[in-house]
């Protein structure tokens, strides 16, 4: 008599069944990835997903991108004295002067307001600092290890190069090193107009090297115009910024025809923007100067 | 009473000997050194002076290793006794089950705290050499609160070892500890936005689960914030003592009901 327990699926059928299941899971993964990418393309999301030839490369690139972004979150945390954005009790109120604040400063905490009467929140608000504080420029070197790690984790993390060059140029006053770092970013991300703009800004404002700045802004414009899809708000602002700097360089070298063309293009993009208005004002100024 | 104290002292000595005989600390110290020494020479863009990242990674290791040592020591005490049948010899001395439990708890706690002292000494030495800051009030508070955390983890490990298998005990305790470390502080806010059922579960977890995040002074220590009030420290330590006592009472209940 056969004492083996009855099994619904024959043992020999288990392997193909398992293979079919794995294939189904893979197909679902590929389909959802493609759907996600299509949705991202349509809505203009900034997802960590990167296009690649194979799914393994894509997963590996995405993982590196996520790790890199986590490291960049660490940079933000360090800049705010180890306080995460979601834990900061004063951040909403501080938003208004966040941009201009460069020095180390902090404000009295409002733990009662944050914690209410809950003893857990009360103790947590005392143990974990929740005040708003910025790292001073002198200590900006503390941010650099994470910036370097983020750019090594994913060389396609544009934000890492932008933030890193800002820290080096504006906080540490090491503009030459910032230029080298941003050039490394451009080499790794040849299609990015953002990095070219950053390079141009450093050359124009910090190094006062107009020819190199002009070349960087020209390259940025070419890369920006190569983006065929409809412009997002950030991309529009970036292109206006490129026109603004190109116009400024044209004004300083008294190239009225070029300035007129740039101002015209900016007008077509967004006439009411302050940078477009600056371009129009410069054009008027230059025309008056020529007439005189 | 005097006999019980002698028995407890003997049990503490046994636990200490066991920890240092197993050389767990040596292994984690070597691992820590291998990971930290190359990091201490990092000079991004040739600029020296960055120390916060090093402090943070070193403290993460101190936390991780101390939790693993505390859990390792506490979770293998009773299963080992039951397996080798040495529990019979202990109970036949005669030592009551409560005395054995308290002795074993204090033994594991002493062993884990001694390991913690070594870790903090190594941390102070590394950070002192790198940044020139040796001792501070925040460091003292961080150490004291860390001892409170270890007291809770050892109690949880011992209780778990009486009702679960070793692997289940270690996994579940680690899940609870790290879950509460990362999300414990947000439980009240999270509960407030949930439906009645989820709210009840989250509020229960908020009351029952150990608030490990109370003992985490890493942010203050690493980012050079000021020390907290000693009253707050005392309140957190009182919480640690009460929580450990409650867990040990439960463990005593399980040990009394246990049939060997």
Choice among A40-49, B26-35, B69-78, B224-233 with the minimum mean pLDDT:
A40-49
Is residue B188 scored above 90 in pLDDT?
no
Report pLDDT for B24. 80
Does B222 reach chain A within 8 Å, measured CB to CB? yes
Q: How confident is the model at residue B238 (pLDDT cuts 50, 70, 90)?
A: very high
Claim to verify: residue A151 and residue A251 sit in the same structural domain: no
What confidence score (pLDDT) does residue A89 get? Answer: 64
| Spatial distance between the Cα atoms of A202 and A182, rounded to a whole number of angstroms | 10
Chain B: residue nearest A173 by CA? B47
Domain count, chain A: 2
Size of interface A-B (CB pairs under 8 A): 79
Question: Nearest C-alpha of chain B: how many angstroms from A212?
Answer: 23
Q: Are residues A72 and A213 in the same domain?
A: yes
Q: Are residues A174 and A235 in the same domain?
A: no
Q: Are A76 and A196 in a shared domain?
A: yes
Which residue is listed with tokens 């699926």? A9
Q: How many CB atoms lie within 10 A of CB B152?
A: 22
Same-domain status, A214 and A162:
yes
Q: What is the DSSP letter of B185?
A: G
Interchain contact B146–A (C-beta under 8 A) = no
The CATH number linked to A173 is 1.25.40.10
Q: How far is A115 from chain B (nearest CA, A)?
A: 9
Whether the Cβ atoms of residue B44 and residue A145 lie closer than 8 Å to each other: yes
Is the CB of A181 less than 8 angstroms away from the CB of B232? no
Please indicate, yes or no, whether residues A76 and A151 belong to a single structural domain of this protein. Answer: yes
- In a domain? residue A101: no
Phi, psi of B210 (to 5 degrees): -70, 130
Q: What is the pLDDT of residue A110?
A: 46
Q: Which residues of chain A have pLDDT under 50?
A: 1-10, 96-115
Both A74 and A219 in one domain: the answer is: yes
Question: Which chain B residues contact residue A78 at CB under 8 A?
Answer: 52-53, 223
Q: Residue B227's pLDDT is what?
A: 92
Burial of residue A86 (number of CB atoms within 10 Å: 0-12, 13-18, 19+) = exposed
As for the ipTM of the complex, it is 0.82
pLDDT value at position B242?
Answer: 97
Range(s) of the domain holding residue A188: 68-80+136-227
Judged by CB atoms within 8 Å, which residues 68-127 of A form the interface with B? 78, 81-83, 118, 120-121, 123-124, 126-127
Our CA-based measurement puts residue A266 at a distance from the nearest CA of chain B, in whole angstroms, of 38
Q: Say if A13 falls within a structural domain.
A: no
Average pLDDT (B168-177) is: 93
Cα gap B255→B72, rounded to integer Å: 19
Q: How far apart are CA B105 and CA A248, in angstroms?
A: 74
**pLDDT at residue B130, as a whole number:** 78
pLDDT > 60? residue B207:
yes
Residue that finishes a domain, picked among A175, A203, A227: A227
- The partner residue sitting opposite A141, judged by closest CB among B50, B187, B214, is B50
Among A187, A208, A227, give the residue marking a domain's end: A227
Say what the pLDDT of residue A163 is: 94
- Looking at every residue in chain B, the average pLDDT score rounds to 88
* pLDDT over 70 percentage in chain B: 100
Residues A141 and A268 in one domain: no
pTM higher than the cut 0.80: no
Residues A262 and A247 in one domain: yes
Inside any domain, residue A280: yes
User: Do A193 and A265 share a domain, yes or no?
Assistant: no
H helices present in chain B, as ranges: 2-22, 24-40, 52-75, 77-84, 86-91, 97-131, 137-163, 166-183, 187-192, 196-208, 218-222, 230-257
* B187–A146 CB contact, under 8 Å: no
Identify the band that residue B173 occupies on the pLDDT scale cut at 50, 70 and 90.
very high
Q: Is residue A55 in a domain?
A: no
Domain count, chain B: 1
**pLDDT on residue A91:** 59
Is B240 within 8 Å of chain A by CB?
no
**Contact assessment for residue A250 and residue A263, using Cβ atoms and an 8 Å cutoff:** no
- pLDDT tens for B88-145 read 877 777 778 888 899 889 999 999 999 999 999 999 988 888 777 788 899 999 999 9
Together in a domain, A72 and A214: yes
* Whole-number Cα distances in Å, B250 to A175, B3, B110: 63, 24, 21
In a domain, A168, yes or no: yes
* pLDDT score at A7: 42
Q: Cβ–Cβ of A177/B187 closer than 8 Å?
A: no
The pLDDT score that the predictor gives to residue B142 is 95
Q: How crowded is the C-beta side of A134, counted as CA atoms within 13 Å?
A: 16
- Domain termination site, one of A180, A199, A227: A227
Q: Which one is predicted more confidently, B132 or B75?
A: B75
Full domain range(s) for residue B240: 2-257
Compare CB distances from B236 to A123, A145, A147 and report the shortest one's residue: A123
The per-residue pLDDT for A103 is: 46
Indicate the SS3 state at residue A106. Answer: strand
User: B61: distance to nearest CA of chain A, Å?
Assistant: 17
Q: Phi/psi of residue A102, each to 5°?
A: -115, -20
Between B49, B51, B232, which is nearest A127 by CB?
Answer: B232
Do B214 and A127 lie within an 8 Å CB cutoff? Answer: yes
Q: Are A82 and B217 in contact (CB under 8 A)?
A: no
Interface contact flag, B213 A128, Cβ < 8 Å: yes
């Amino acid at each position: 008599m056969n004492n083996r327990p009855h099994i619904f699926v024959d043992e020999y059928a288990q392997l193909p069944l398992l293979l079919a299941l794995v294939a189904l899971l893979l197909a679902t993964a590929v389909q959802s990835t493609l759907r996600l990418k299509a949705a991202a393309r349509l809505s203009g999301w900034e997802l960590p997903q990167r296009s690649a030839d194979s799914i393994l490369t894509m997963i590996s690139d995405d993982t590196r991108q996520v790790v890199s972004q986590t490291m960049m979150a660490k940079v933000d945390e360090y800049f705010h004295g180890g306080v995460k954005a979601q834990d900061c009790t004063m951040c909403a109120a501080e938003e208004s002067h966040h941009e201009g604040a460069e020095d180390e400063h902090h404000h009295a905490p409002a733990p009662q307001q944050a914690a209410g009467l809950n003893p857990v929140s009360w103790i947590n608000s005392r143990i974990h600092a929740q005040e708003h504080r910025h790292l001073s420029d002198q200590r900006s070197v503390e941010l650099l290890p994470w910036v370097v790690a983020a750019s090594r984790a994913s060389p396609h993390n544009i934000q890492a190069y932008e933030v890193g060059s800002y820290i080096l140029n504006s906080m540490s006053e090491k503009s030459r090193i910032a230029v080298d770092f941003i050039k490394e970013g451009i080499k790794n991300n040849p299609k990015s107009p953002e990095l070219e703009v950053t390079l141009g800004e450093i050359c124009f404002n910090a190094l006062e090297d107009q020819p190199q700045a002009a070349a960087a802004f020209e390259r940025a414009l070419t890369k920006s115009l190569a983006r065929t899809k409809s412009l997002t708000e950030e991309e529009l602002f970036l292109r206006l910024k490129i026109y603004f700097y190109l116009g400024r360089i044209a004004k300083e070298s008294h190239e009225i025809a070029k300035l007129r063309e740039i101002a015209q293009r900016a007008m077509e993009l967004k006439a009411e923007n302050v940078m477009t208005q600056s371009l129009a004002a410069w054009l008027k100024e230059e025309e008056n100067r020529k007439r005189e | 009473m005097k006999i019980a104290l002698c028995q407890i002292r003997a049990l503490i000595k046994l636990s200490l000997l066991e920890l240092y005989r197993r050389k767990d600390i040596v292994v984690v110290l070597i691992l820590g050194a291998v990971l930290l020494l190359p990091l201490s020479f990092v000079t991004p863009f040739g600029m020296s002076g960055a120390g916060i990242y090093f402090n943070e990674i070193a403290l993460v290791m101190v936390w991780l290793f101390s939790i693993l040592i505390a859990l390792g020591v506490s979770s293998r005490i009773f299963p080992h006794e039951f397996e080798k049948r040495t529990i019979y010899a202990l109970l036949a001395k005669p030592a009551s089950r409560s005395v054995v439990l308290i002795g074993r708890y204090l033994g594991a706690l002493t062993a884990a705290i001694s390991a913690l002292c070594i870790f903090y000494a190594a941390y102070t030495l590394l950070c002192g050499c790198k940044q020139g800051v040796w001792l501070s009030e925040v460091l003292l508070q961080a150490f004291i609160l860390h001892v409170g955390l270890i007291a809770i983890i050892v109690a949880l490990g011992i209780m778990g070892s009486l009702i679960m298998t070793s692997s289940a005990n270690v996994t579940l305790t680690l899940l609870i500890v790290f879950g509460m470390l990362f999300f414990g502080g947000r439980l009240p806010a999270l509960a407030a936005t949930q439906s009645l059922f989820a709210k009840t579960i989250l509020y229960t977890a908020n009351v029952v689960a150990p608030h490990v995040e109370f003992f985490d002074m890493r942010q203050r220590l690493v980012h050079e914030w000021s020390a907290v009030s000693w009253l707050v420290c005392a309140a957190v330590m009182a919480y640690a003592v009460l929580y450990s006592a409650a867990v040990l009472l439960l463990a005593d209940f399980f040990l009394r009901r246990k049939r060997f």
